[in-house]
Amino acid sequence: MSHDMSEENLPESHGSAGEVADHGNPFADPGLPAHEPRRTDIDERAAKRAERQVSLMFLVSMVATVGFIVSYVAIDPDKIVYIFPLGHVSALNFALGLTLGVALFMIGAGAVHWARTLMSDVEIPAERHPIEADDEVRADVIGQFRTGAAESGFGRRKMIRNTLIGSMALVPLSGVVLLRDLGPLPEKKLAETGWKKATEAQPLELVNMSTMLPLKPEDIVVGSLTFAMPKGMTTHDEDFQQQIAKDALMLVRIAPEDIKDEKSKGLGFEGILAYSKICTHVGCPISLYEQQTHHALCPCHQSTFDLADGARVIFGPAGHPLPQLKITTDEKGFLVATGDFAEPVGPSFWERAR
């Protein structure tokens, strides 16, 4: 069957809105349906009721923000509570999440309810036009914006305006109180490590972290990577995790002629160099070593250090080289340290000189 869509065979148009308006053009703009006023447009009591509902939402947001701050100050961070169906959760985290969620949700819900019930919902068709607007169009847009601002009632409906300003002003306080978690300052805690007990007179042995045995130079072969910690430390120590996060060492042996940095060579023993294992970016433990290039790679953000050149940063976000520990051997032939690192290990912090 063939369909003849010539002008004579087009269906007859009745010319009403929403139907074909132009007999010569089946795709003519049907126009917008007539605007239907909402209840709040014609009933002042309904409008007042909507206004109170919107304000109530903003008020709930304000109360929730105050609840957030009170929770942060008053709830013990170690307190665990049972919440169905979550199970056992931190009371502080639950309270912070709940109150901040309510505070933000109520601002959004209030704004949506305000737009749907009280702001103008008259649709204005925008014709396509060149991107660059001429002066007349700009003036028209500014006029429309001003009309929209006036119709939104932002200036006239003072209760909504004031409660919205109040809720928006209070919500950022949630972030301000969290600044407390940036403290306290580390002071000397990061400037010293467990190696500070070592002196020239009483050196401290390096212990293999896997075997817990003291290390001799012959245990460290060229191309190998060995992890070490100070003698006397055990995994049963109460503060083991805090200590190992500062004391852990990375031992490598590089042929002396391949060591480019003379100061670094002087801190080592017969090509054995002892660097901090803690990345100077944000403190991840470094565990990857490329024996051909002498590069150590941090798995967290790929900072790469050249261990043959004083652990200089050659790639990645780390801010400074890995600190190096001065080592030698004692009279029994064990590898020992004779002092602490010359600079703080790990990432930079505020009191650090560099």
List residues binding ligand FES (CB under 6 A). Answer: 279, 281-284, 298, 300-301, 303, 316-318
From the CB of 288, what's the least distance to ligand FES, in Å?
Answer: 11
CA 317 to chain centre: 16
* Count of CA atoms in the C-beta half-sphere (13 A) of 59: 8
Give 279 or 311: the residue with its C-beta nearer to ligand FES: 279
The neighbour count for residue 156, using CB atoms within 10 Å, is 10
Give 138 or 301: the residue with its C-beta nearer to ligand FES: 301
From the CB of 287, what's the least distance to ligand FES, in Å?
Answer: 11
Give 9 or 241: the residue with its C-beta nearer to ligand FES: 241
Give 147 or 302: the residue with its C-beta nearer to ligand FES: 302
From the CB of 323, what's the least distance to ligand FES, in Å?
Answer: 14
Contacts of 272 (CB under 8 A, 6+ apart): 217, 220, 251, 252, 253, 327, 335
Per-residue burial over 91-115, b if 16 or more Cβ lie within 10 Å, else e, is bbebbbeebbebbbebbebbbebbe
From the CB of 303, what's the least distance to ligand FES, in Å?
Answer: 3
Give 283 or 339: the residue with its C-beta nearer to ligand FES: 283
- C-alpha 177/C-alpha 258 separation (Å) is 52
From the CB of 156, what's the least distance to ligand FES, in Å?
Answer: 54
Q: Show the tokens assigned to 61.
A: 């947001």
Q: Show the tokens assigned to 196.
A: 């500070």
